[in-house]
């Protein structure tokens, strides 16, 4: 295999951002390993993403499935260069309404599944002394824009922390293993329809960014590795405004922050 041909594993690849990323990278000539639970949808995306794309039916909430995903990728291509932890799920429930099951589900799907991916691929990256882990987070993991996504936001905050700590852990001994966070805002996918406790179609929300635009940002992070990327430049400015404020509570009363009394499914 050419040293310039990167093998990229993408979880949550059967729809939305993952599917758009598969098509984008396939058009660039990347070798792809695509993971999701839905076999027929996954196979269709693989067919659209290059003749060498390998679909692997995977439940990312099961560590053994994720370990098998890494093994299948290595068996097929002999190497992994980039691992994109994209699979995730939202929730429509405010903090006062959350149950134990709500929290457990958000942590399992959005945090532990990423940990499984990291720990499955990291030995291979360490043996090669290079690689790239990209964790797809959310603007809700940075700022409280939607209180009804409370536990989802909390899980993405946890993901952001794990990502940063992993990067610091590896930096001295493995400087060529890159660890990145990508934070989209609202994306025009069916994400909202699949959230826990129900929700609206994200494609109907004003200002939703296309999955293709988000995929282009992720592809750029693969080409030019960096620690942190937002899918729109104004997002970074909003984060700086929020955390730089003397009183975050005052900022939360201004647009685009949603008042805590508003609940929108």
- CA–CA separation, 203 and 196 (whole Å): 17
Q: Cis bond leading into 263, ω under 30°?
A: no
CA angle 115, 116, 119 (to 5 degrees): 80
Is 137 in contact with 181 (CB distance < 8 Å)? yes
117 secondary structure, DSSP code: H
Q: How far is CA 52 from the centre of its chain?
A: 23
Q: How many CA atoms lie within 13 A of 60 on its CB side?
A: 31
β-sheet bridge partners, residue 131: 177
Query: How many Å from the N-terminal Cα to the C-terminal Cα in the chain?
Result: 48
Is 158 in contact with 140 (CB distance < 8 Å)? no
Catalytic residue among 152, 230, 242, 243, which?
Answer: 152
> Is 243 assigned a catalytic role?
no
Residues catalogued as catalytic: 152
């Amino acid at each position: 295999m050419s040293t310039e041909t990167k093998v990229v594993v993408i979880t949550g690849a059967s729809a939305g951002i993952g599917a758009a990323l598969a098509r984008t990278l396939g058009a660039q000539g990347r070798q792809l390993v695509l993971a999701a639970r839905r076999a027929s949808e996954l196979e269709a995306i693989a067919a659209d993403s290059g003749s060498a794309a390998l679909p692997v039916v995977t439940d990312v909430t099961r560590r053994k499935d994720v370990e098998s995903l890494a093994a299948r990728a290595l068996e097929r291509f002999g190497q992994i260069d980039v691992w994109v932890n994209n699979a995730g799920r939202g929730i429509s429930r405010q903090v006062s309404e959350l149950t134990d099951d709500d929290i457990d589900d958000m942590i399992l799907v959005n945090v532990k599944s990423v940990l499984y991916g990291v720990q499955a691929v990291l030995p291979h990256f360490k043996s090669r002394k290079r690689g790239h882990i990209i964790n797809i987070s959310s603007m809700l993991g940075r700022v409280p824009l939607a209180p009804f996504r409370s536990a989802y936001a909390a899980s993405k905050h946890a993901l952001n922390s794990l990502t940063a700590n992993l990067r610091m852990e590896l930096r001295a001994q493995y400087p060529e293993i890159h660890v990145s966070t990508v934070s989209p805002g609202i994306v025009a996918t069916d994400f909202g329809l699949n959230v826990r406790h129900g929700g609206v179609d994200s494609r109907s929300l004003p200002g939703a960014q296309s999955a293709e635009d988000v995929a282009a940002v992720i592809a750029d992070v693969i080409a030019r590795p960096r620690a942190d990327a937002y899918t729109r430049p104004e997002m970074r400015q909003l984060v700086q405004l929020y955390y730089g404020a003397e009183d975050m509570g005052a900022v939360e009363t201004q647009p685009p922050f949603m008042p805590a009394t508003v609940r929108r499914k």
